[in-house]
């Protein structure tokens, strides 16, 4: 920064730096350093020395940051008014309005600087730095989702209108001013696009992994004002799960892996890890099965992705035709796809390419049938490939934006 400034640039920083108590020359003409990773435990303008030389109110600075001042000005006195700790692995849930999140605040401050404070008479350099990549991670799924075992299957009927307050259905309903009685969530585990088409046409669908009956669904669709359709990711994921079962010895393997597919491991605490290990240890994989599994997870997954594209698009088109015939006045939103396993390295991650291609095709399909398209590409996902609570917030915003357009 000093070299840039000596070269004629106006230099500025907003956000995380961790330069507190440093003796080096920072080289900034303008500073708004916010080093908090999340709201401090005590939200106060008084700095008291604590452990390891850090202030007792857990700001990571030698002064109260503008973010802490912002929280104080909005009436907050404790971090517990904005977030709660989920477990001891650095996972927190930020439940307050998103505008009070440190990353949102820094983004807003950066926008204000660009609009009102950037110099017009010389070149400038702005460092806008977000603490967000650090712990704590807002990475939980939906802990109050109602999934009940019913023999081989899961009974999710409790979610139809008893859905989580954090899921995107609830958030979209809130954005549209609808009550819970005016909204239904028919998101179902392991459902594929062909299953949903059958469900809309007949009111029921059944396969080896699902058994759903919604006899009143067609009547509800006829009277709906807004219909969101998010389907097709399982057209890839379910065949892969069956492929794993086939490679490793039959349906008992699928039974062992089914809890992963159904979302039992949304919160990876010690008991979840123990259950996962118990499931995998029970498989007794042979060398031949291991070879078959590796084959599936390399070229086999890419083959499944390639084969499913046409099927997904054909079912989506048939589904749009069915919905348009049932209710020509409804606002329909096709929700796009996100990569459910984003942490796989790119060369070994066929999902990334598959869902990028599928998103382009589905967007064209939405234009063809004059329905809205909500991009979901940047959805944050939990370790079971479902959206986190933050991911649901993002999906709700995307759907509401699509409806506005």
Residues 73 and 186 occupy one common structural domain: no
Q: Which of 34-43, 239-248, 294-303, 352-361 has the highest mean pLDDT?
A: 352-361
Between 88 and 327, the more confident residue is 327
Residues 118 and 156 occupy one common structural domain: no
Site of tokens 């892996």: 257
Q: Which of 27-31, 133-137, 352-356 has the lowest mean pLDDT?
A: 133-137
In a domain, 290, yes or no: no
Site of tokens 């809130």: 174
Residues 390 and 304 occupy one common structural domain: yes
The pLDDT of residue 228: 97
Residues 94 and 9 occupy one common structural domain: yes
Q: Give me the chain's average pLDDT, please.
A: 82
Neighbours of 327 (CB within 10 A): 18
pLDDT tens track for 292-347 = 766 776 677 788 888 899 999 999 999 999 999 999 999 999 999 998 877 665 55
Q: Which of 53-67, 124-138, 162-176, 298-312 has the lowest mean pLDDT?
A: 53-67
Between 303 and 285, the more confident residue is 303
H or E stretch covering 6: helix 2-6
d(CA 132, CA 402): 26
d(CA 138, CA 90): 9
pLDDT higher than 60, residue 258: no
Q: What is the CATH number of the domain that holds 359?
A: 3.40.50.1110
Out of 98, 129, 160, a domain closes at 129
In a domain, 65, yes or no: yes
Residues 352 and 385 occupy one common structural domain: yes
pLDDT-derived band at 241, boundaries 50, 70, 90: confident
Q: Which of 10-14, 161-165, 203-207 has the highest mean pLDDT?
A: 10-14
Residues 155 and 61 occupy one common structural domain: no
The pLDDT of residue 172: 96
Out of 129, 160, 178, a domain closes at 129
> Is the peptide bond preceding residue 136 cis, with omega within 30 degrees of 0?
yes
**Helix locations, 249-300, DSSP H:** 251-262, 270-281, 287-295
**Sequence-separated contacts (24+) of 368-373 with Cβ below 8 Å:** 369/317, 369/320, 369/321, 369/324, 369/332, 371/320, 371/331, 371/332, 371/333, 371/334, 372/331, 372/332, 372/333, 372/334, 372/402, 372/403, 372/405, 373/333, 373/334, 373/336, 373/402
d(CA 232, CA 221): 20
The pLDDT of residue 206: 83
Residues 65 and 100 occupy one common structural domain: yes
Tell me what the mean pLDDT of segment 154-168 comes to: 77
Q: Which of 56-70, 119-133, 208-222, 258-272 has the lowest mean pLDDT?
A: 258-272
Domains: count for the chain:
2
Could you list the residue range(s) of the whole structural domain that residue 73 is in? Answer: 2-129
d(CA 180, CA 102): 31
Tell me what the mean pLDDT of segment 343-365 comes to: 83
Residues 95 and 191 occupy one common structural domain: no
The pLDDT of residue 51: 45
What is the bridge-based pairing of β-strands 226-229 and 331-335? parallel
d(CA 292, CA 248): 7
d(CA 161, CA 173): 12
Residues 158 and 20 occupy one common structural domain: no
Contact assessment for residue 99 and residue 74, using Cβ atoms and an 8 Å cutoff: no
Percent of the chain with pLDDT over 90: 44
Tell me what the mean pLDDT of segment 42-54 comes to: 63
Residues 152 and 25 occupy one common structural domain: no
pLDDT higher than 70, residue 252: no
pLDDT higher than 60, residue 204: yes
The model's pTM: 0.69
pLDDT-derived band at 123, boundaries 50, 70, 90: very high
Residues 34 and 70 occupy one common structural domain: yes
In a domain, 287, yes or no: no
φ/ψ of residue 12, rounded to 5: -145, 150
The pLDDT of residue 56: 47
User: DSSP string spanning 194-226?
Assistant: HHHHHHHHHSEEE-SS-EEE-TTHHHHHHH-SE
Neighbours of 129 (CB within 10 A): 18
Tell me what the mean pLDDT of segment 17-23 comes to: 70
The pLDDT of residue 361: 96
Residues 229 and 308 occupy one common structural domain: yes
Out of 71, 102, 129, a domain closes at 129
pLDDT-derived band at 203, boundaries 50, 70, 90: very high
In a domain, 250, yes or no: no
């Amino acid at each position: 920064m000093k070299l840039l400034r000596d070269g004629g640039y106006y230099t500025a920083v907003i956000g995380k730096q961790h330069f507190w108590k440093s003796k080096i020359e920072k080289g900034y003409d303008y500073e708004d350093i916010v080093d908090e990773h999340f709201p401090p435990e005590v939200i106060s303008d008084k700095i008291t020395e604590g452990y390891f030389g850090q202030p007792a109110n857990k700001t990571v600075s030698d002064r109260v940051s503008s973010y802490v001042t912002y929280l104080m000005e909005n009436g907050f006195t404790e971090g517990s008014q904005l977030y709660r700790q989920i477990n001891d692995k650095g996972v927190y849930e930020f439940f307050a309005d998103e505008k009070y999140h440190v990353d949102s605040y820094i983004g807003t401050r950066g926008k204000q600087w660009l609009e009102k404070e950037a110099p017009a008479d010389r070149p400038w350099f702005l460092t806008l730095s977000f603490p967000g990549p650090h712990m704590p991670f807002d990475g939980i799924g939906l802990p109050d989702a109602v999934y009940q075992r019913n023999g081989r299957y899961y009974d999710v009927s409790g979610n139809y209108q008893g859905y989580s307050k954090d899921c995107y259905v609830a958030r979209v309903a809130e954005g549209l001013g609808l009550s819970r009685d005016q909204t239904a969530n028919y998101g179902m585990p392991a459902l594929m696009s062909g299953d949903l088409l059958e469900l809309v046409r007949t009111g029921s669908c059944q396969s080896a992994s699902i058994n759903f009956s919604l006899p009143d669904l067609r009547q509800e669709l006829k009277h709906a004002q807004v219909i969101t359709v998010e389907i097709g990711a399982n057209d890839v994921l379910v065949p892969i799960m069956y492929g794993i079962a086939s490679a490793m010895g039959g349906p008992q393997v699928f039974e062992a892996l089914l809890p992963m597919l159904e979302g039992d491991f949304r919160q990876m605490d010690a008991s979840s890890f123990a259950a996962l290990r118990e499931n995998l240890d029970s498989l007794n994989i042979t060398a031949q099965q291991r070879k078959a599994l590796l084959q599936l997870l390399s070229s086999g997954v890419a083959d499944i992705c390639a084969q499913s594209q046409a099927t997904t698009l054909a079912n989506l088109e048939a589904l749009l035709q069915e919905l348009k015939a049932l209710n020509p006045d409804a606002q329909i939103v096709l929700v796009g796809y996100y990569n459910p396993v984003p942490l796989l390295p790119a060369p070994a991650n066929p999902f990334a390419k598959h869902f990028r291609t599928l998103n382009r095709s589905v967007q064209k399909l939405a234009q063809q049938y004059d329905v809205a398209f909500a991009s979901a590409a940047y959805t944050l996902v939990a370790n079971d490939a479902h959206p986190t609570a933050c991911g649901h917030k993002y999906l709700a915003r995307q759907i509401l934006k699509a409806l506005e357009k």
